[in-house]
């Protein structure tokens, strides 16, 4: 797998997949910029009058419930159902799963539509699998990634999704394999919505890469290596937010390969 | 008071309060990043289906009407009412008060729910007190801070709120005291939504600091000192926006104490 | 015309026009910051309960359909109708025209209200004129600017608007003239929403400059020259986004005049 990751990054740059995002207000600007920097082509659209048509012209769909409300949830369901029927890949980012009963009910409805990939922090993945063995504190994770592995395996079994638990170590789980990615930097937890950026980048990669597990690993490693290179020259999370965008844009194969820390 | 302010900043970093924001689209990303940089834990949520539950798990609520509409106003009222009933502290940021009759009507409804703190610029505070002796020009202030003191005193008397008038000099008024804070930098007026950031930070501080007046002063001085330190190394407001986030994250007690200009 | 452009930039700085934006979620923060940096005063407001009143106190209206939905479209129409009846200048940014039938239907309704200016990329302008001789790929342009000239001339004839086709060469077309502006930098296409920023700046300029064609050229040249100066010192699109804001704020007449590349 390791030898394919950079190739996948180049593929995204070359094919510039159109990625349809139904995401939250907090991260829309950063998500769009991250997708552009990585070479993809973002579209943000949520009107019930157009989401199905937008899914049809896109290569992948990103559904992120961060600032959900009743209207947006209807759009998310319309779009995810369309993606499922057209066999287009889509990713679910269950922001704040477990924080309110409303979020959990919405997530149940979305899970039925069998996301190609689910990416969340450990608390969210645990809440999502209904194990609910930990209390979610808002949108930040209070559970360790490895505690969430069993929860992720439940989700893989029940919905056929690839699950990515992001954290100090990112863990990507599909039917057969567990992949551990040990890149990233602690300061990244102080920038809002980098998890959302991860999900959006995964959207771009699953839109054009056939092997969906490799697509997820490529996207996650691109972001986490870019993040640690960016953090090394950042005085704080404000600088880090923009340096990550720069690095997604100008990272070289040498930089990527020198820092990759992958176990499987 | 001066000797307690840094202690309060450390308390926020250590306790990482969950702050529920119902705020405007323009500033959501920056507000979330400022809260994270100061050590707090932001959640943005506005769905009528969940705002009350979200208030219940949060330590403070921030209501900012910048890009209000009919749906969001219903959410704000639900959330503020819940905060009042649970005796949780909440802050009202009356963005653009006086600009339209709709904003003024909404603000009347919110004031009845007795915000713990109200923060606005001089024009907004004057409009809010119904004195309306100045015309509001959009969301930027055209009135001097000190002209708004009488308006603020009306609000303190009528709603029991602490009022913070932000401007070249920030003025914090409660039942007994007036505190004048002379930090900040002129370039800060060219960054959108730093007033909104101030309100969000106040939300974090009133969430964990018992003395609410000191909490407001600590939040305002943290932002204004961070702003002036950041402005000194910024070529323009684009750089300033991110350097403020960096400085909120890495400011030291020495930097804070050396620059604090407080009169009471 | 060339001799007037800097004068217009100074006029915006001095008069600080209030610009009412009904725009998309992705760009609101950046748009507001760009307007502030150029000296204007932005207000973002979309509530049906207040948009007409907000148009009445503003000097110009910006309508950008990027993240439209049914509610926002009603607001846009209310606001544009009000602008038309008060003879206030307004600009239409047809983001993603041609991507879905919904967008095209909405744009037909808005065109009837005769925008003072229309600004889009080549694909959008072509879609807007119903020529539809190219397929729009999301929100990024796939057509060359000069292919869109005929489409623009149709729009000028049918709606009396000034049309600005932005791209590697920006082309401004009114009833009599075509003006070609060859500033800008390729990296600007990797920052989300700089087209939206262009439209917002045009809003500020048409709010206070009598000659609307010169107003459009001044706004476009200010942004594109600021962009190329900013790109020269940016490692990637993250840095570029903020350096453009800085440069809009601190650009001098010398910098502006030295780089201006205008043909008419």
| CATH number, position A7 | 3.40.1190.20
Of residues A232, A238, A227, A231, the one with CA closest to residue A261? A227
Residue C147: per-residue pLDDT: 72
**In which domain, by residue range, is C244 found?**
2-263
CA distance A162 to A177: 10
Is C54 annotated as contributing to ligand binding? no
**What is the rounded average pLDDT of the residues B160-174?**
96
Q: C25 in contact with B at a CB cutoff of 8 Å?
A: yes
CA distance C77 to C96: 18
Residue C135: per-residue pLDDT: 44
User: Which of B236, B242, B243 best tests the C interface by mutation, with the highest count of C CBs <10 A?
Assistant: B236
The band of C134, judged by pLDDT with boundaries at 50, 70 and 90, is very low
State the smallest CA–CA distance between residue A250 and chain C in angstroms: 7
CA distance C192 to A31: 9
Check: CB of residue C135 under 8 Å from CB of residue C98. yes
Nearest to C236 among A18, A49, A247 (CB): A247
Per-position DSSP letters for A191-203, written without gaps between them: STTHHHHHHHHHH
Q: C26 in contact with B at a CB cutoff of 8 Å?
A: no
**What is the rounded average pLDDT of the residues C141-157?**
81
Chains that touch B (3 or more CB pairs under 8 A): A, C
Check: CB of residue C5 under 8 Å from CB of residue C201. no
Residue B145: per-residue pLDDT: 63
Residues of chain A positioned with their CB less than 8 A from the CB of C96: 43, 45
Is A119 annotated as contributing to ligand binding? yes
Residues of chain A with pLDDT under 50: 131-135
Return the CA Rg of chain B: 17
Mean pLDDT across chain C: 94
pLDDT at residue B143 is higher than 80 = no
Residues of chain A positioned with their CB less than 8 A from the CB of C137: 18, 41, 57
Angle of helix C212-231 relative to helix C194-208, nearest 10 degrees?
140
Q: How many CB atoms lie within 10 A of CB C171?
A: 22
Tokens 């090394």 -> residue: A232
H runs (alpha helix) in B16-44 = 28-37
User: Residue B99 has what DSSP assignment?
Assistant: S
Nearest to C29 among B137, B192, B234 (CB): B192
Dihedral sign for Cα atoms in the order C214, C220, C226, C228 = negative
Q: How many CB atoms lie within 10 A of CB A200?
A: 31
User: Residue A188 has what DSSP assignment?
Assistant: G
Top-confidence residue, C204 or B144: C204
Q: B65 in contact with C at a CB cutoff of 8 Å?
A: no
Sheet (strand B262-263) strand order: B41-44, B18-22, B60-64, B90-93, B117-121, B162-166, B170-173, B178-181, B262-263
Residue B264: per-residue pLDDT: 81
Tokens standing for A13?
């740059």
pLDDT at residue C163 is higher than 90 = yes
CA distance B166 to B149: 11
Mean pLDDT across chain A: 94
Nearest to B46 among A67, A99, A190 (CB): A67
Q: Which residues contact A35 (CB under 8 A, 6 or more apart)?
A: A19, A21, A41, A42, A200, A201, A203, A204
Strands (E) located in C40-195: 41-44, 60-64, 90-93, 117-121, 162-166, 170-173, 178-181
State the smallest CA–CA distance between residue A263 and chain B in angstroms: 31
Kindly report, residue by residue over C206-249, the tens digit of the pLDDT: 999 999 999 999 999 999 999 999 999 999 999 999 999 999 99
What is the number of structural domains in chain A? 1
Residues of chain C positioned with their CB less than 8 A from the CB of A37: 190, 236-238
Residue B144: per-residue pLDDT: 64
Q: C239 in contact with A at a CB cutoff of 8 Å?
A: yes
Residue % of chain A over a pLDDT of 70: 94
**What is the rounded average pLDDT of the residues C51-66?**
98
Kindly report, residue by residue over B31-84, the tens digit of the pLDDT: 999 999 999 999 999 999 999 999 999 999 999 999 999 999 999 999 999 999
Of residues A209, A115, A95, A231, the one with CA closest to residue A163? A115
Residue A145: per-residue pLDDT: 64
Mean pLDDT across chain B: 94
pLDDT at residue B210 is higher than 50 = yes
Check: CB of residue B121 under 8 Å from CB of residue B166. yes
H runs (alpha helix) in A39-173 = 51-57, 70-85, 101-111, 122-128, 149-159
CA distance A167 to A248: 19
Q: Do A192 and B45 touch (CB under 8 A)?
A: no
Cα angle A34, C23, B31 (rounded to 5 degrees) comes to 60
CA distance B158 to B150: 12
Tokens 């659209």 -> residue: A45
Residue B132: per-residue pLDDT: 43
Q: Which residues contact B45 (CB under 8 A, 6 or more apart)?
A: A67, A96, A99, A100, B20, B21, B22, B51, B54
Return the CA Rg of chain C: 17
Residue % of chain A over a pLDDT of 90: 90
Sheet (strand A178-181) strand order: A41-44, A18-22, A60-64, A90-93, A117-121, A162-166, A170-173, A178-181, A262-263
Q: B46 in contact with A at a CB cutoff of 8 Å?
A: yes
Q: Do B47 and A70 touch (CB under 8 A)?
A: yes
Tokens 């400085």 -> residue: B247
CA distance C173 to C98: 21
Nearest to B236 among C25, C42, C249 (CB): C249
pLDDT at residue C132 is higher than 50 = no
Q: Which residues contact A208 (CB under 8 A, 6 or more apart)?
A: A11, A12, A15, A17, A59
Angle of helix A212-231 relative to helix A2-15, nearest 10 degrees?
90
Kindly report, residue by residue over C248-263, the tens digit of the pLDDT: 999 999 999 999 999 9
Residues of chain A positioned with their CB less than 8 A from the CB of B250: 235-236
Residues of chain C positioned with their CB less than 8 A from the CB of B67: 28, 44-46
């Amino acid at each position: 797998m390791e030898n394919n990751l950079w190739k996948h990054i180049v593929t995204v740059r070359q094919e510039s997949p159109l990625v349809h995002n139904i995401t939250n207000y907090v991260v829309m600007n950063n998500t769009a910029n991250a997708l552009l920097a990585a070479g993809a082509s973002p579209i943000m659209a949520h009107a019930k009058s157009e989401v199905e048509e937008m899914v049809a012209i896109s290569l992948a769909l990103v559904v992120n419930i961060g600032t959900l409300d009743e209207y947006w949830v209807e759009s998310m369901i319309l779009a995810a159902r369309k993606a499922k029927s057209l066999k287009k890949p889509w990713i679910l980012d269950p922001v704040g799963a477990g924080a309110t009963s409303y979020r959990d009910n919405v997530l149940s409805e979305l899970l039925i539509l069998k996301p190609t990939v689910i990416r969340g922090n450990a608390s969210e993945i645990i809440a999502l699998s209904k194990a609910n063995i930990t209390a979610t504190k808002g949108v930040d994770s209070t559970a360790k990634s490895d505690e969430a592995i069993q929860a992720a395996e439940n989700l893989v079994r029940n919905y056929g999704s690839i699950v990515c638990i992001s954290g100090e170590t990112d863990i990507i789980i599909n039917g057969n394999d567990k992949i551990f990615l040990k890149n990233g930097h602690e300061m990244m937890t102080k920038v809002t919505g980098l998890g959302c950026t991860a999900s959006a980048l995964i959207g771009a990669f699953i839109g054009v890469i056939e092997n969906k597990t490799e697509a997820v690993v490529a996207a996650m490693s691109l972001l986490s290596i870019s993040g640690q290179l960016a953090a090394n020259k950042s005085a704080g999370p404000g600088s880090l937010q923009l340096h990550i965008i720069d690095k997604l844009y100008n990272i070289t194969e040498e930089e990527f390969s020198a820092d990759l820390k992958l176990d499987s």
